[in-house]
Structure 1
Amino acid sequence: MIRGRKMPPEESDLPPEKDRQAVVVWLDAALAAADRAAPPDPGRVTIRRLNRAEYANTIRDLLGVEFNAAADFPADDVGYGFDNIGDVLTLSPMLMEKYVAAAEQIAAKAIVADAEGRKREQLPESHRRIIAVQPSADRSPDQAAAQILRRLATRAYRRPATDTEVERLVRLTGHVRAAGGSFESGIRTALEAILVSPHFLFRVELDPPGAGVIRELNEYELASRLSYFLWSSMPDDELFDLAGRGRLRAELDRQVRRMLADAKARALIENFAGQWLQLRNLEAIHPDKQQFPQFDDELRRAMRIEAEMFFEAIVRENRSVLELIDADYTFVNARLARFYGIEGVEGDHFRRVALDGDESVRARGGVLGLAATLAVTSNPTRTSPGAHHALCDFRRRRIGSNGSR
């Protein structure tokens, strides 16, 4: 940019030519001196608090309980356009109070405290999943509690629970029973403690003793990074099993394909694409009715679905990343097709269509041409045609005047 005289901008105070050349020479020398053989420094990762979506999904997958975090917790702070950035996901006293109240509410839904006398099939599925064993003649209440809580804490913390952690939880159940509570009440109280633990609320990656400045993620950390990126939730049993056997890294490609084929990968569309493409902002835009009389809630909904289906197709079908910019297809229903000027589309269901019409239709290929993207980056009374012109210029340069690639 400096060598090509594009920086600094012409309207700014320009440095003398000798200073410009001195900067160019210095940058060339610094870049040439970089040791490309040295491993890149990944930096330090701030421990990430679970955001609202991740919390709700994790509760669902851990306990089988539905919890509306969006209604009970305050909105997460946003950094760089995303609400899962560790540096901005703080923990205020008010949010901690919300977590304590949520833990009590969730534990009460998950475990029936007075289960004695009930048939097992009459108990909630979450209760049967958690209380997998009961005290018996050859199993003391503490032994049964330890068996239940070791598995529960391991899943909740996304790594093997330590003996000390399990013993502390078992002692808690003993205090409840000593005060006259049932075995199930003790497990429920221990579950509340698990749900307010930093090891549950945060995705913790602690350096082991003797770790160097740069270290490889262990298998459990890798499983959590993978699952929270693709599913916005905790690792499932298969990921846990592979991590425990030290096999996840070796089977990473297969696991990514499996996870993308899972229905939970919908979270990648809603959370990552929804924020990257600003689809969440679609509900907040209100184009001027006189300037854009064709815009209504039906079109707004169609715009969002098209963008989600387009991104999902590229991810699930393992298509080229270049199609994010230059695709020859999109997804429309009759309402959106009419808005685009695409003929031959009837009905409310969305289908893939080829963009083989005139230039205005072909320009709809890729995220820069999606109606949703253009809508959220425009003003209420006028569009912002810069991206459209840049995209058309890009396509002309790449495709050529005769249309050949």
Structure 2
Amino acid sequence: MHSRLGNRRLARLAAIALLLATATGSPALGAGGEDAFRADIIPMLEQYCIDCHAEAYAEGEVVLDRYADREAAVEDAETWLRVLDAVEGRLMPPADMPQPMVEELEAIVSWIEQDVIASRLGSAAPPPVVLRRLNRQEYDNTIRDLIGLDLGLSASFPPDEIGFGFDNVGSALNVSPIHVEKYLDAAERALDAAIVAPSVEGLAPAELIGLRTYPLPLDGAVEFEHALEPGRYLADFSLVRVRVAESVPPPRLVIGFGSDRRAVEAAQVQDETVVYRYWLDVAEADDTVHVSVAPGQSEAQVFGTQAITALDGGDQRYGDDRGLHVDSMVVRGPAPDGAGGRPESHRRILFLDPEPGDEGRIEAARQVIERFATRAFRRPCRPDEVEGILDIFRLAHDRGESFERSVQVALSSVLVSPRFLYLVEPDEAEGDRPLDDFELASRLSYFLWSSMPDDELSRLARDGTLRADLRSQVDRMLDDPRADAFVSNFVGQWLQLRQLDGVARDESLFPGFDDELRDAMRRETELFFADLLRDNRSVLELLDSDHTFVNEALARHYGIDGVSGGEFRRVSLEGRPRGGVLTQASVLTLTSNPNRTSPVKRGQWILQQILGTPPPPPPPDVPELDEGGGTAEASSLRERLELHRANPECASCHSQMDPLGFALENFDAIGRWRDVDGDSPIDASGELAGGLAFDDAEGLRRILVESSAKKFSRTLVEHLMTYALGRGLVPDDYPTVEAIRGRLVEDDYRIRSILYGVVESDRFQRRGAAEGP
């Protein structure tokens, strides 16, 4: 007893490991119920656990003596899930303490799976919804699919925060003032690139002469003759206000040639001169210029109510003839038509040409806005939403902007709307409910494409048939090139490949490590996973396989002959010491130090990313591995780590990590094969918990496939569910995790069975109540 309680830090490290491990693969044995808990579980806890996990001195804050009965124990699912992970991972009890027999371990695993996890099946709603904005990759992909241009606008956005290992977790995706500013800039840039507005830049202005110089009547129009050829013109039309109070705002005017007339606001006021700037569309040659006060404006609104005698004298040109006098009209144009050269993005958004006049333009804008907003919001746009956006179009249109520019302004408001930037808008009044078909389409498309639903998903959502066609849609989407985003985003974060960008190497030791090789390393792993996904093969190939993908640079790095050029191709690994992601250069490089390998980092990576058993961080007072003086030269890395591990503060965790890492020691810090480390022959042998021994990386891969398939497959399901749901998992999710893992085993571990299980699950197809303030 004294030895156990005296070394409290060792127990603390071991207890933290107990909280974080995953499962090995024994069949469920024990029966549930109060009798099983008291007869089987409590005695084991008392014999192996309570010394370190009693409430009075609980290591790692794991308390296992506080349960009055089975019901109280089952209620604390979070603790038992952590116990399950550690027991199945053989991290508990620590290696220097009495160990349970296999039957005892199986009994507690069975009780947790059957009583704790299974009891929560269907017992709770999904956790509260958190507003989830588009992350940077999703934003870029959505803009690409919405307007047809891949602009990379998110490069200027602040980096996305990571939650539960992924950058699409709602609770981590906050919005700062700088986000708002960048979203505004990006919206304008996107629509400026997508829509070609008319331009007369470089064309000399021409003043139209022959204007009539009498006041504009309120009940009629001034018409004068001046011919313009058909085309688009930018016009500055000037009036002079004579004996009109300065406090009276300029009226709206109806101006145009022939049948193409539009009402515009004043663009500029300087003393008595009022300038109206607007785009004029001349549909056919016409000599008549029409100018009138827009309907609905009274004399008081146009001229004011002050007595004439209180006003200044008349204008030198117009005398005392009170009113609005047509003064001049300066135009530039016609603008180049460009209709045949408009890009696809322009034609996609502006799918029709407006009829002349205000009504024609506004009706065309209404249809353009409704279709664009429906696609951008990923659901039908409500009439009130359309009208709100159309009001913004009117503001720009009434200022005299061209139809195209007015549409740009209006649609910019769509791209900064929360309905676009967020995937879910919780409604606290709704509570827990199934997703509607449009929400389900969005959840599915952002899971597998990191982008908006396409026309097929939207059609099924409109028809209400998406749920009935869900599995075939998963297959269709995975076979689409847009699924490359799922591969790069999920694999890049699950396997931590994104960290390769920040990896540096000692150039004197590794002169061949450059950006080309780094990119090839990452691409190999992505293509390997994509190939597995496309052919729906076993996820266990991620642990061990007989092939990989290389280009010339990577083939040369691996010592594989017969590969030339930058294109990747599938190659056999038969007779070679590689197979699966553990021996790919991407993983081997990112888990090494700048000047040497790191068995500790490699072992930690396997525990965390592959087996779901991340060890705790080292205590703050534990020294780093001694590489100073003559230590490094006098001994091998294995010997130095054995000295380090002799510290009891380090032994518990290192006994789990180091054997896994040493199995990969034949691969150097950039993944090349080697037989010696300096002058020391490589010893890649080791032994895992439970007496599982191996001689090298091949032996480790075989053990992982044969003995850790359950742990690995559960970890993969957990990561995929976290990524798909955009949130961390809670205990009530674990019946779903286990159900999906069970179907995976029944389907010979084929990877798509996980994806089918995720999207068909109640957790994916329902949303929780909105999170309160």
Instruction: Please indicate the TM-score interval, normalised by the length of the shorter structure.
Output: 0.7 to 0.9
Higher relative contact order (CA 8 A, sep 6+): 2
Change (3 A) 1:143 1:208: farther
Q: Which residue among 580, 583, 592 is the counterpart of 1:369?
A: 583
Asked if 1:45 corresponds to 2:129, the answer is yes
Equivalent residue number for residue 449 of structure 2: 231
Equivalent residue number for residue 573 of structure 2: 355
Alpha carbons 2:592, 2:598 under 8 Å: kept: yes
Shift of 1:202: 1.2
Question: How many percent of aligned residue pairs carry the same amino acid?
Answer: 48
Asked if 1:106 corresponds to 2:180, the answer is no
Unaligned runs of 5+ in 1: 401-405
Which residues in structure 2 correspond to 1:100-249 (within 5 Å)?
Answer: 100-114=184-198, 117=232, 118=337, 120-136=339-355, 140-207=360-427, 211-213=430-432, 215-249=433-467
Q: Equivalent residue of 2:119, what SS?
A: coil
In terms of fraction of residues, the more strand-rich structure is 2
Shift of 1:36: 4.4
Which residues in structure 2 correspond to 1:30-109 (within 5 Å)?
Answer: 30=74, 32=115, 35-109=119-193
Equivalent residue number for residue 11 of structure 2: 12
Equivalent residue number for residue 316 of structure 1: 534
Equivalent residue number for residue 544 of structure 2: 326
Asked if 1:303 corresponds to 2:521, the answer is yes
Q: Equivalent residue of 1:49, what SS?
A: coil
Equivalent residue number for residue 757 of structure 2: none
Q: Equivalent residue of 2:171, what SS?
A: coil
In the superposition, the TM-score normalised over structure 1's length comes to 0.84
Change (3 A) 1:202 1:293: same
Equivalent residue number for residue 562 of structure 2: 345
- Measured in 2, the distance between the counterparts of 1:112 and 1:339 equals 48
Alpha carbons 1:47, 1:202 under 8 Å: kept: yes
- Measured in 1, the distance between the counterparts of 2:156 and 2:353 equals 33
- Measured in 2, the distance between the counterparts of 1:178 and 1:199 equals 27
In the superposition, the TM-score normalised over structure 2's length comes to 0.46
Q: Equivalent residue of 2:354, what SS?
A: coil
Give me the CA root mean square deviation: 3.1
Shift of 1:269: 2.3
Deviation string, structure 1 residues 23-66 (Cα, Å, up to 9, x no partner): 27949652536634525532123221112221111111111233
Equivalent residue number for residue 379 of structure 1: 593
- Measured in 2, the distance between the counterparts of 1:334 and 1:182 equals 54
Shift of 1:16: 7.7
Letter of the aligned partner of 2:50 in structure 1? D
Asked if 1:393 corresponds to 2:719, the answer is no
- Measured in 2, the distance between the counterparts of 1:280 and 1:312 equals 17
Letter of the aligned partner of 1:249 in structure 2? R
Q: Which moved more, 1:224-233 or 1:378-387?
A: 378-387
Change (3 A) 1:294 1:175: closer
Q: Equivalent residue of 1:330, what SS?
A: strand
Deviation string, structure 1 residues 207-226 (Cα, Å, up to 9, x no partner): 496x443x222111111112
Structure possessing the higher radius of gyration over alpha carbons: 2
Letter of the aligned partner of 2:482 in structure 1? K
- Measured in 1, the distance between the counterparts of 2:168 and 2:65 equals 38
Letter of the aligned partner of 1:59 in structure 2? I
Deviation string, structure 1 residues 285-335 (Cα, Å, up to 9, x no partner): 122345445544443233122111111111111111222222222122344
Alpha carbons 1:194, 1:200 under 8 Å: kept: yes
Deviation string, structure 1 residues 229-286 (Cα, Å, up to 9, x no partner): 2222111111111111111111111111111222221212222212222222223212
Change (3 A) 1:245 1:335: same
- Measured in 2, the distance between the counterparts of 1:183 and 1:397 equals 64
Deviation string, structure 1 residues 144-186 (Cα, Å, up to 9, x no partner): 2221111111100111111110111112222222222233232
- Measured in 2, the distance between the counterparts of 1:335 and 1:108 equals 41
- Measured in 2, the distance between the counterparts of 1:234 and 1:45 equals 20
Shift of 1:121: 1.9
Unaligned runs of 5+ in 2: 16-44, 55-63, 75-111, 200-230, 233-336, 604-659, 664-687, 689-696, 708-773
Letter of the aligned partner of 1:74 in structure 2? P
Q: Equivalent residue of 2:597, what SS?
A: coil
Shift of 1:398: 5.0
Change (3 A) 1:75 1:257: same
- Measured in 1, the distance between the counterparts of 2:484 and 2:125 equals 32
Q: Equivalent residue of 1:331, what SS?
A: strand
- Measured in 2, the distance between the counterparts of 1:9 and 1:305 equals 46
In terms of fraction of residues, the more helix-rich structure is 1
